[in-house]
Structure 1
Amino acid sequence: MLASSRPPALVHPGARRSPAVVVRAAASTGTAAPAAAIDALKRGVAQPGSVPAPAMLSAMLELERAKLSPEPWLASIEAPRARWRLIFTADSKQVQAGQKKQPSKGGIFFPIPAVQKFDPVTKDFENGVFLGPIASLTFNGPYTMAGRQLSFDVRSMNIGLGPWRWSIALKKDAKPLDQLPDSERKALPFFLYAYADGDIIVARGRSGGLAVWTRTTAEWEMNAGVAQVYK
């Protein structure tokens, strides 16, 4: 879910850190984060189109290759009232082209609001698309994170129309994730994170595509209809 244009306010103002600070934090774990790649992605999400799509993809791939320590990432992902808007995506073919240094479009800036959140208390995620105060469609279920991989299970679909909400169970009597057989656990969708801080998340999905999310602001959430759904 992407946008062709977006004001800088969409990047969470209280969470910005300079590339130098990011590098020092990562260096304490033994691996220095590529500051230029992080800076390019943050500029790209603050003003979509200011950084060309191939450069966005190149920055994401550089972060993957850096193999940074994931230790602090979950705290950023689950931060209080954190909502993460999908800004840029590159599908598996574009990712493969980027890895081989072959020409491609690089990816797209997602055209509509798509936002996810993770609740550290209930360990429930919710992810969906929003059409302002008019309508929304979200999906939710439990999640768990081990190392770089956050696995989740979609168990409910939630439909919003104006002030009304309907929830439809997609899986009844589902077991907790830690009680699933290994075969079912391995089949769950997941995000394989390459980087996360207070401003952005970079992750690869099960399909092999890469994406960048940015933390929203309360003002943007009100305008996009997210605040009506994500309490």
Structure 2
Amino acid sequence: MAIAAAPRCPQLQCARPSRRVVVRAATATGTVPTAAVEALKQGVAQPGSVPAPAMLQAMLELEKAKLKPEGWLEIIEAPRARWRLVFTSDSKQVMAAAKRQPNKGGIFFPLTACQRFTAADQDFENGVFLGPVASLTFSGPYAWGPGRQLSFDVHTMKLGLGPWRFNIPLKKNGKPVEQVDPKERKKLPFFLYAYVDDDIIVARGRSGGLAVWSRATPEWQMSSGVAAVYK
């Protein structure tokens, strides 16, 4: 799921400029690398103020900290929580950085992308938005565990054009993730979380890339078209 610093993107202008470090749900086996958290929050609030390689290095530091995921799921699926994709590093950049080799770090994601998790029915939805004009999202069930992993499946593609929404089934007789055969479950896409607090999420995808999501403000949700889709 995760996708040179890029030009400033309109979706980033609504970033919540919070510099506080919320570690309520980030209890660790050691000490939370607060400098890494601060760097990522600064990079989200003011794109370009933190170089892309430094953003990637901060994500790797959080992974190395091996934080305990206590309370993380509750934050991820909190009522009305919407998580916008801000920064991504593909697997090649991640591998280069881990080996201390030259790398571009990643990009500030150039599209308006957002995801949400609904605890009541364990439904996940992720997609891209063109304001009130159009949207393309994918949804399905998810399940937490083991460890810091959240696995999900895609059952439906949803196309939005203005006020209309079209659901296109992608998988017949789709099952909740918990009911999927263990061997098949290992093949599902997933997020392996490195850090979660009330402001940002850092996770690695199945492809090996790393990404940072920021909790979307209500104003951003309205201007981006997300509020009309994720009700």
TM-score, reference length from structure 1: 0.92
Aligned residues: CA RMSD: 1.8
- The 8 Å contact of residues 82 and 216 in structure 1, kept in 2 or not, is answered as yes
The aligned counterpart of 1:191 is: 191
The aligned counterpart of 1:53 is: 52
The aligned counterpart of 1:4 is: 8
Tell me how far apart the structure 2 counterparts of residues 82 and 57 of structure 1 sit (CA, whole Å).
Answer: 24
Superposed counterparts of 1:65-214, under 5 Å: 65-146=64-145, 147-214=147-214
- The 8 Å contact of residues 28 and 66 in structure 2, kept in 1 or not, is answered as no
Tell me how far apart the structure 2 counterparts of residues 96 and 161 of structure 1 sit (CA, whole Å).
Answer: 39
Q: Is the partner of 2:84 in helix, strand or coil?
A: strand
Q: Greater CA deviation, 46-55 or 128-137?
A: 46-55
Tell me how far apart the structure 2 counterparts of residues 224 and 29 of structure 1 sit (CA, whole Å).
Answer: 35
How far residue 18 of structure 1 moved from its aligned partner, in angstroms, is: 2.8
Q: Is the partner of 1:111 in helix, strand or coil?
A: coil
Percent identity of paired positions between Structure 1 and Structure 2: 67
Q: Is the partner of 2:229 in helix, strand or coil?
A: coil
The aligned counterpart of 1:18 is: 20
Q: Is the partner of 1:143 in helix, strand or coil?
A: strand
| Match status 1:34 vs 2:39 | no
Structure 1: gaps of 5 or more residues: none
Q: How many residues align?
A: 224
The runs of at least 4 consecutive aligned structure 1 residues that moved more than 4 Å come to none
How far residue 218 of structure 1 moved from its aligned partner, in angstroms, is: 0.8
- The 8 Å contact of residues 111 and 128 in structure 2, kept in 1 or not, is answered as yes
| Match status 1:225 vs 2:214 | no
- The 8 Å contact of residues 4 and 110 in structure 1, kept in 2 or not, is answered as no
Check 1:104–1:30 CA distance in 2 against 1; reply closer, same or farther (3 A cut): closer
Q: Greater CA deviation, 194-203 or 170-179?
A: 170-179
- The 8 Å contact of residues 25 and 196 in structure 2, kept in 1 or not, is answered as no
Q: Is the partner of 1:227 in helix, strand or coil?
A: helix
Q: Is the partner of 2:53 in helix, strand or coil?
A: helix
- The 8 Å contact of residues 3 and 112 in structure 1, kept in 2 or not, is answered as no
Tell me how far apart the structure 2 counterparts of residues 29 and 103 of structure 1 sit (CA, whole Å).
Answer: 30
Tell me how far apart the structure 2 counterparts of residues 10 and 18 of structure 1 sit (CA, whole Å).
Answer: 14
Structure 2: gaps of 5 or more residues: none
| Amino acid paired to 2:230 | Y
- The 8 Å contact of residues 3 and 110 in structure 1, kept in 2 or not, is answered as no
| Amino acid paired to 1:131 | L
| Amino acid paired to 2:81 | A
- The 8 Å contact of residues 117 and 123 in structure 2, kept in 1 or not, is answered as yes
Tell me how far apart the structure 2 counterparts of residues 112 and 199 of structure 1 sit (CA, whole Å).
Answer: 20
Tell me how far apart the structure 1 counterparts of residues 89 and 113 of structure 2 sit (CA, whole Å).
Answer: 15
